[in-house]
Amino acid sequence: MSDLPNPTMPLSPVTLPRGSLHRPRSTEGVGHGAAPHGGVEVAWARHLDEVREAQRLRFDVFASEMGARLQTALPGHDVDLFDDYCEHLLVRDTQSRQVIGTYRVLTPAQAQRVGSTYSDTEFDLTRLRGLRERMVELGRSCVHPDHRHGGVILALWGALADFMARNRLDTMIGCASIPMLHGGIVTGDVAASIWHQLRQTHLAPIEYHVLPRLPLPVEHLDSSMDVEPPALIKGYLRLGAKILGAPAWDPDFNTADLPMLMRLVDLPPRYRKHFLGH
């Protein structure tokens, strides 16, 4: 077991008591292998082997399930150059101890060390330069298919909100992915339609707009489809997140990525009370 380098900011003591977060009684969206009444625990990775568990989950979801073409030096793991600079948040099933959900968090200090954020590789973030001092990047979020219920996401978001508040950080950015594989066909029409919807209702002020480095050619796609955004994007929007501009095309992950920004000051009161206690 190898210890990780000391984190650049204090990690919140967010490990929850056994059973303190429970799955809903309904088994909707829960696979046959999942116990519907178990609990989840959330904690920050402290050792390299814990990060490897997250990277294996990411590989299973992104490569095996979604068909991403991952450039990785470690077979069966999703590993990139940003991982060594990030804090990794893990959700475990309390019974099996399996990692069933994860986020990685790149702090401002670590973003300076690595030279950029992952989002910088997909978008020109020049207009966000005034936010960077208190801005973290969220990335590589995924949940095991047998555990895609609200409890896992709430556990992750609760720990993230606590981390932000403790370290006096106020802004989160990230790339929210829209799969381009639909019904066995790769198409950008769904992403173009979602962008067309959200730009009318959730677009950030123009001073925060960013530009994709490899734009999805939305002007040449059908943007009239009646489709809903992925559940994670809808969740971000309920928390007050804004879309920063048109989607980028990520051919390796087979996704269209929307640039998103979320500020703690924009949290609706009920979520502020739930996550921050006030």
Find the CATH number of the domain harbouring 60: 3.40.630
Q: For residue 93, what is the enclosing H or E element?
A: strand 87-93
> Would residue 277 count as lying in a domain?
no
Please tell me whether residues 115 and 201 are part of one structural domain.
no
How much is the pLDDT for 10?
47
Return left, alpha or beta for 184; rule: phi > 0 is left, psi -120 to 50 is alpha, else beta: left
How much is the pLDDT for 64?
86
**Share of residues in the chain with pLDDT > 70 (%):** 86
Q: For residue 55, what is the enclosing H or E element?
A: helix 48-59
Q: How far apart are CA 34 and CA 27, in angstroms?
A: 9
Q: How far apart are CA 150 and CA 29, in angstroms?
A: 10
How much is the pLDDT for 231?
87
pLDDT one-digit tens code per residue, 131-184: 999 999 999 999 999 988 778 888 899 999 999 999 999 999 999 999 987 777
Please tell me whether residues 149 and 265 are part of one structural domain.
no
The encoded tokens of residue 267 equal 């949290």
The encoded tokens of residue 220 equal 């040449």
Please tell me whether residues 77 and 113 are part of one structural domain.
yes
Domain range for 42: 1-169
Give φ, ψ of 168 to 5 degrees. Answer: 55, 45
Domain count, the chain: 2
Residue the block writes with tokens 């380098």:
5
Listed residues 169, 193, 215: the one ending a domain:
169
Count of C-beta atoms within a 10 Å radius of residue 80? 18
Listed residues 111, 136, 169: the one ending a domain:
169
Please tell me whether residues 124 and 207 are part of one structural domain.
no
From the list 94, 66, 83, the residue with the least C-alpha distance to 4 is: 83
pLDDT above 60 for 15: no
> Would residue 278 count as lying in a domain?
no
pLDDT above 60 for 23: no
The pTM of the full predicted model, rounded to 2 decimals, is: 0.85
Please tell me whether residues 178 and 78 are part of one structural domain.
no
Please tell me whether residues 128 and 210 are part of one structural domain.
no
Q: How far apart are CA 256 and CA 198, in angstroms?
A: 14
Please tell me whether residues 225 and 192 are part of one structural domain.
yes
> Would residue 248 count as lying in a domain?
yes
